[in-house]
Structure 1
Amino acid sequence: METLEEAEFCFPQLFNTSCKRHTRPQSESMLIYILMSFISLFTVVLNLLVIISISHFRQLHTPTNFVLLSLAVSDFLVGLFVIPSQILLTEPCWFLGDLLCVLYYCLNFIIVYASVINMVLISVDRYVAICDPLHYSTKITQMRVRICVLLCWTYSFIYSFMFIFDSLKQPGRYNSCYGECVINISGAADIVLGFILPISTIVVLYLRVFVVAVSQARAMRSHITAVKMQSSVTVTVKKSELKAARTLGVVVAVFLMCYCPYYCVSLSSSDLIIGSSSEAFMSFLVYSNSCLNPLIYAFFYRWFRISVKLIVTLEILQPQSCDTNMFLLYF
């Protein structure tokens, strides 16, 4: 009986001050471990392929792809650091100390916020490409995109440290027992600045993109003669831009489906208990988004499938492989 009681505590030697473990069926625990481990490995490998593809092949060095590269980096870090750390919290006993607990949350916030801001940048990029195609090349340049990506990560760092600064000064001050990993953040500010504001921006921009894309698609299918168009020249968006808008629209839609449930629970003032089955499911949903993005690229972007083939077959190790014409390989 004593062994069973000790097994209920994170630190049996600190019987009076130790946190209790959540009792969960072994089959459920194994399922969580297997799913999280699989997603972690899959996320790292797939996003690493995206990073190598866009970084290596010069023809893929476009403003849109630089934003996708930034998104792939944040997704890669989710698979490499955040998901493995989340597995440690399924007990939920934190054995790595109070300082690493705060740093874990800080890294988590940085990566998640960077993903959100990258989605905003994607929406802005598609908005300009579809709604103002004549000025796209002058407004969305590689230098401006690189600056925006840098500002995205800088904002994520500052934003995250702003929320964990109080906990960083005295790690563990909000823990009620040993083995707990808790920090204090302003929930309202987090929801407004980290979710409502950027998500509203994404939705509004993509609704505008959707309306314009539909009208342009109808215009391309119509049988308007060149004579009728002489009086008022209409600029139609290229098919490639419409396809990119559709593809990135799927990325944004999947992102919203993965992230919205977690924040909807926060908005409903319902608390998620760390280590509970509901918290594990919400985390699984959020982190699975990092794994789904490369799969969307593989499904919609032929250049990604071709680049993966070149990487897997080690053809990228050949001299001048970075100058490969990816688009000629389409045919």
Structure 2
Amino acid sequence: MHRTGLTELEVVLAVAHKQSFRAAARELGMSATAVSNAVAGLENRLKVRLFNRSTRSVALTDEGRRYVERIAPALAEIQRASEEIASEPGVPRGTLRINAPNECATLLFEPLIREYIQRYPQMRLEMTSEPRMVDIVAEGFDAGIRLAESVPLDMIAVPLTSQARMLIVATPDYLARHGKPQSPDDLRHHHLIGMRMSHGGIYHWELQQNQQKFSVTVPPRIILNEMRAIHLAALSGIGLAFISDWFINKDLATGTLVSVMDEWCPYFGGLQLYYLGRRLVPAGLRAFIDLAKEIQRR
């Protein structure tokens, strides 16, 4: 029998059913002394005798009978719940809650999220996207997703994407009208599409060539706070955008957008899933981790 943690109640029901402390002990895999002590302990706390017992017989008192009638259905339901969970530990069911950066679901939908939902029909995936870094444990999330450099050191991390880099891009028409910048200094003569960060400041483009680093402080012509909006602004020909290649690979392949100053755009760590501890990882999260690793190996 799968133990629920309600040992004393299980003991009382077993003794009532078997009408014997020794028979109840054999059924529960306990010693007769442990069974006797469990019943005595519960009687002491309730201040009620549950059983009349002699050297030859055991029988419920009237109070014991009424007590057993009340607890038996509830304990049976708890038992069924415990056995159901324990019987299929590898079958994911329930809700998986993940905190992620804005627009992360868009990046991961193909194939990770789509395959996860299709493969595990009894799972519900709830992904909350926000720019701020949250305490996933305190706020009730099973896991978080962030860039590798932002993952807390006390968490276990699993790569979800390969390395990426921010690229400076514009439409061919914009570059035909304004020319291609060749160095960070040239950016002063261009219209830049800036990004407002969650803390309120404007993100300064971080460029690097060999060991030389450069932070772009040119005032943007337009400021937006969503990567999707920045992408659309770049496609409209407004100016130069600094955007992750995750969002623009198709545009680069078709020539809709053109990258410039690639030598100033270094690679950085990709997205990682992170969670607390290795012990008793929920089946739904374990399935998500395993699928992510499977996709990375393809």
Structure number with bigger Rg: 2
Normalization by structure 1: what TM-score?
A: 0.18
Greater share of residues in strand: 2
What's the TM-score, normalizing by structure 2? Answer: 0.20
Q: Which has the higher contact order (CA 8 A, sep 6+)?
A: 1
